Structure 1
Amino acid sequence: MLSWRILIPLSLMLTACGGGGGTSGGGTPVLPPAPPSAALTLALAPFASNLSSPTFLTTPPGDARQFIVERAGRILVMQGGSLLAQPFLDLRSVTDVAGEGGLLSMAFDPGYATNGRFYVYRTNANHDIVVERYTVSGDPNRADAASALAIIQIPHPTYINHFGGLVAFGPDGYLYLGTGDGGSEGDPNGNAQNLGSLLGKMLRLDVSGASSALPYRIPSTNPYLGQADVRPEIWANGLRNPWRFAFDADKLYIADVGQNLREEVDLAPASQGGLNYGWKVMEGSTCYQAPSCNRSGLALPVLEYSHADPGSPCAITGGFVYRGTAIPELAGRYFYSDYCAGFVRSFLASGLAVSEQRDWNIAKPGQVQSFGRDGQGELYVLTASGIWKIVKGQ
């Protein structure tokens, strides 16, 4: 088992999250979920194979289908355990896969059942980050390829790594994007700490009334709205490559890929903007290439692990909090992995305190590229060639 160092963010302690113990609105004590029995084991059941580098799996709430994103630019539909022959959407002609680029994720609008809208996060031939909106066609298993509406295009010059890659709706109904710092090593352009750049950030957009003339608005509660020389789209900064993040009720989990030493999970109240997660002042809890640094005002990770740990970990792959019903013992546990080490691990967060860290000792399925979550809240592990569902062990 790895040697984990648990760190509570200095700038977020005390009452910042409000997600721990206490009482509900009626005064009834809110008890944390019981820890899973030591006898509980997990396994990975084969779910889908013969895929081309799947990067994401998602579903509209309550839908029985699964939508699988392939890096090259296709979105496939899994229905009743079988992949449909025709893709939901094929964006291969406008998607570039150089370096870490490609079609990296999608998000269904909270009102998808009535408006049929969804959003994709991809890179183009100029290596820019592109987020677009599409609409489903009259066939529920086919999108209307002609319905594309450009939401935002973020220049990503010079380097072909650190694109970030996730687009998701928060509990507030706004659209969030996690962008990488622009690439290379050590953020040479200083993007992550530059509030005039959209790279190395968490962005928050209001796309409810998106049109070609006005593809998004800035929510009135964005922390930098109205400040000179600052991009108002920014929700948080100081991120290196937030490949995956996840909302769960009042919490935001961010798995931020490290440089050469440490991998980290950041945790914050979903409603708290304006946080600085430290890169490149910090890599995890350590000062980056310096014996000391100014940590004041930085939100430090709640969990991190070292590249020197057994298994040769190299890049964290963030997942989701389990909210399914098939394994009720896992309720509230956040799952994550590592691209090189391939483990499947979880922890429980109460406020900003982390407990019940557990390595489920599942045989390494391959290089874990992403996690997925279906309409019933069940979780999936994605590797370069296939997808596995997390199930109870025998």
Structure 2
Amino acid sequence: MLVDRVRIFLLCLLSSFLLAACSGGGGNPGTLGPTPGDGTGSGATTGSLQVTITALPAGVNGAVRVTGPNNFAQDLTATQTLPNLAPGSYSVAASNVAVGGATYAPTPATQNVVVAAGATATASVTYASGPVTLTLTDIGPTFTRPVFVTAPPGDERLFVVERAGLVRIVRNGAVLTQPWLDISDRVFTGGEGGLLSMAFDPDFARNGYVYLYYTDLAQNIVVERYASSPLPDVGDPTSALAILRVAHPQFDNHFGGQVAFGPDGMLYAGTGDGGGAGDPFGNAQNLDSLLGKILRVDVRNASVAQPYAIPPTNPYVNQAGRRPEIWASGLRNPWRFSFDGEQLYIADVGQDTREEVDIAAVSQGGLNYGWDIMEGSICYNAASCDRTGMTLPVFEYEHGANDVNGCSLTGGYVYRGTALPELVGRYFYSDFCRGFVKSFFATGAGVVEQRDWGLSATQVVSFGRDGAGELYVVSAAGRIFRIARGSSG
């Protein structure tokens, strides 16, 4: 055992001369160099960059991107130090940040910073707020009684619907000479009738189908499917397939007018109550009538023999005396409705006193919005004003004396475009009599951020949305405007 200990001691002593280390033995290893890439010490090969972001409200993220050598790129939302950077020039680019009705602009928007090995460079971005302003930009051409504007997602064209029965295409600010479709020989245009809206099939890119909502020569409400022709900018007028036909014989008003596909792939149509004043036939509350309703049908396998199927989740399937096509009831004249994700916004035109917007989850079938028992949240038929089972509006406004606030609601869309990120989530609407452009933000607790944008157009009959999600205002006087950023916004 003693011999082994001596042998180990001698080996260790020899190793100490060679390695300067053994079982905590002596020797000075010298000053350690920097850990590779830590950017410190005189032998450092990398550096650091501290980016300071200030003056944003609490909880609001900045929008800063740092790029540099070796394809370096990193996005920052708050003050941060970036270590282990290769020496060289770095670009710090900051973007606007939208908060409610204000835009926070960065200063400077771009800057270049040189990072040196072994050192920490600094860059500062300071945000300052300013109000968002909007303007209405005329797209150029004049139309004959336009009522609707739409486009397939991602498409550069605008499809403009004219009441007389024509669908026109605008490309690069010019109207194509030949209409996409002309069904004027079958359209009734008296009163509030006409070709009133159109919707692209969710699978339009493959099947080329569009759906038109119009009043025929007998004043029936018709939803009809058409196909595209082999020509890219022309529809096929011979391809008509009638999907829905709802009798509307007595009056020439309250035809409704909107057809749209929901996020569930089903086709929705909004019908008026049949016209007259005060729903004289009681259609809106009659579940055996398709008038004064939102209808929901499945057209994925539409044919002449069976133009639609009833979705099994419709609320009145297999119920005697109740039409299975009905999704919602108690509506006076839902001239315009729209979808935002899983939410359905219905703009229901009022009688003499109030205009209302109803909002519900797409999954909520069977809701009764109250007409003609209620007008908005107030009683209309005082003799039987029982609110039991009624869904009251999320938003409404009174006409006021001499219709100072408006007389006929024109519903629009929730903004989901990219040109005006400050507006995302805001619902836009107008009024036929006043022509204003207003918006609000709907939350679970109610409507907030109500805003009048200080814009106006003559007889606003509709809003539109293009293939990029930007919004348009349609004037019955023949002009179409895009909602755009104002000069100080």
TM-score normalised to structure 2 length: 0.73
The separation in 1 between residues aligned to 2:453 and 2:484, in whole angstroms, is 11
Which piece of structure 1 moves more, 34-43 or 202-211? Answer: 34-43
The residue aligned with 2:267 is 175
Where 2:303 maps in the other structure, the secondary structure is coil
Where 1:114 maps in the other structure, the secondary structure is helix
1:336 partnered with 2:429: yes
Where do 1:228-243 residues align within 5 Å? 228-243=320-335
Deviation of residue 311 (structure 1)?
Answer: 3.2
For each residue in 1:262-287, what CA deviation from the matched residue of structure 2 results, as whole angstroms up to 9, or x when unmatched? 00010101111000000000000100
The residue aligned with 1:137 is 229
Deviation of residue 89 (structure 1)?
Answer: 0.0
The residue aligned with 1:158 is 250
Q: Is the 8 A contact 2:293 2:328 kept in 1?
A: yes
The separation in 2 between residues aligned to 1:187 and 1:282, in whole angstroms, is 12
Instruction: Give unmatched runs, 5+ long, in structure 2.
Output: 1-97, 103-129
Deviation of residue 312 (structure 1)?
Answer: 4.5
The alpha-carbon distance between structure 1 residues 345 and 296, as it changes in their structure 2 partners (threshold 3 A), is: same
| C-alpha RMSD of matched pairs (Å) | 1.2
Where 2:417 maps in the other structure, the secondary structure is coil
Structure 2 counterpart of 1:216, one-letter code = Y
Deviation of residue 350 (structure 1)?
Answer: 1.7
Q: Is the 8 A contact 1:268 1:352 kept in 2?
A: no
The alpha-carbon distance between structure 1 residues 351 and 250, as it changes in their structure 2 partners (threshold 3 A), is: farther
The residue aligned with 1:36 is 101
Q: Is the 8 A contact 1:245 1:252 kept in 2?
A: yes
The separation in 1 between residues aligned to 2:254 and 2:293, in whole angstroms, is 11
Deviation of residue 296 (structure 1)?
Answer: 1.3
The separation in 2 between residues aligned to 1:125 and 1:351, in whole angstroms, is 44
User: Which has the larger strand fraction?
Assistant: 2
Choose the corresponding residue for 1:184, options 268, 276, 279: 276
The separation in 2 between residues aligned to 1:352 and 1:388, in whole angstroms, is 33
The separation in 2 between residues aligned to 1:152 and 1:48, in whole angstroms, is 35
TM-score normalised to structure 1 length: 0.90
Deviation of residue 290 (structure 1)?
Answer: 1.7
Where do 1:255-266 residues align within 5 Å? 255-266=347-358
Structure 1 counterpart of 2:423, one-letter code = L
Instruction: Give unmatched runs, 5+ long, in structure 1.
Output: 1-32
The structure with higher relative contact order (CA 8 Å, sep 6+) is 1
Deviation of residue 138 (structure 1)?
Answer: 0.7
Q: Is the 8 A contact 1:131 1:152 kept in 2?
A: yes
Structure 2 counterpart of 1:316, one-letter code = L
Higher alpha-carbon Rg:
2
The residue aligned with 1:199 is 291
Where do 1:191-340 residues align within 5 Å? 191-290=283-382, 293-308=385-400, 311-340=404-433
Structure 2 counterpart of 1:186, one-letter code = G
The separation in 1 between residues aligned to 2:140 and 2:287, in whole angstroms, is 41
The alpha-carbon distance between structure 1 residues 244 and 268, as it changes in their structure 2 partners (threshold 3 A), is: same
1:358 partnered with 2:451: yes
The separation in 2 between residues aligned to 1:251 and 1:214, in whole angstroms, is 29
- Number of residue-to-residue matches in the alignment: 361
Runs of 4+ in 1 over 3 A off after TM superposition: 309-312
The separation in 2 between residues aligned to 1:361 and 1:72, in whole angstroms, is 31
Structure 2 counterpart of 1:243, one-letter code = W
The residue aligned with 2:469 is 377
Deviation of residue 240 (structure 1)?
Answer: 0.1
Where 1:329 maps in the other structure, the secondary structure is helix
Identity of aligned residues (%): 60
Deviation of residue 34 (structure 1)?
Answer: 3.2
The alpha-carbon distance between structure 1 residues 189 and 245, as it changes in their structure 2 partners (threshold 3 A), is: same
Choose the corresponding residue for 1:91, options 175, 183, 190: 183
The separation in 1 between residues aligned to 2:390 and 2:486, in whole angstroms, is 40
User: Which has the larger helix fraction?
Assistant: 2
